[in-house]
Amino acid sequence: SAVISQKPSRDICQRGTSLTIQCQVDSQVTMMFWYRQQPGQSLTLIATANQGSEATYESGFVIDKFPISRPNLTFSTLTVSNMSPEDSSIYLCSVEDLLRGRGGHYGYTFGSGTRLTVV
C-alpha cells in the first residue's frame, strides 16, 4: 500500500489567515483526493487533484477558498484560505490504492490528517 506523509498534523490558526497542508506520497499516483471531516461528521470530499490540470471541486467547495496544487505525481497541497471558526476540521489527503486483504479491491489510503482549529 502507498504511504502518505501529511503535515502539519495539527495547527491552531487565527481567523482571516491561511494554512497550507502538504501531502507527500511514496509512489507516483494519478489522482489525489482531499477530504474534510467536521466534528462528529463523516468524511466529505473537497476536491480531486490531478497532476497537470486544475483540481475538480465538489459541490459546496470553491477554488478561491481551497486552492490546490499538484506539481508532480507524488505531492499535493491544499490551502484553507481566509479561515473562520467554521473551517475547524480534520483535513485528509488520500490516494487510490489497491488495498491489502482478500478481494483485492481499490479503495483509499489516507494520510494521518491535519487537525485545524480556527480561533
Partner 1 sequence: DQQVKQNSPSLSVQEGRISILNCDYTNSMFDYFLWYKKYPAEGPTFLISISSIKDKNEDGRFTVFLNKSAKHLSLHIVPSQPGDSAVYFCAAPLGRGNMLTFGGGTRLMVKP
Q: Could you list the residues that contact partner 1 (CB under 8 A)?
A: 1, 4, 6, 9, 31, 33, 41-43, 45, 48, 92, 94, 96, 99-103, 105-113, 115
Closer to partner 1 by Cβ: residue 52 or 101: 101
Closer to partner 1 by Cβ: residue 30 or 84: 30
In 8-83, beta strands by DSSP E? 10-13, 19-25, 31-37, 43-50, 56-57, 68-72, 75-80
Closer to partner 1 by Cβ: residue 14 or 39: 39
Closest contact distance (angstroms) between CB of 113 and partner 1 is 5
Burial class (CB in 10 A: 0-12, 13-18, 19+), 7: middle
End-to-end Cα distance, the chain: 36
Closest contact distance (angstroms) between CB of 115 and partner 1 is 8
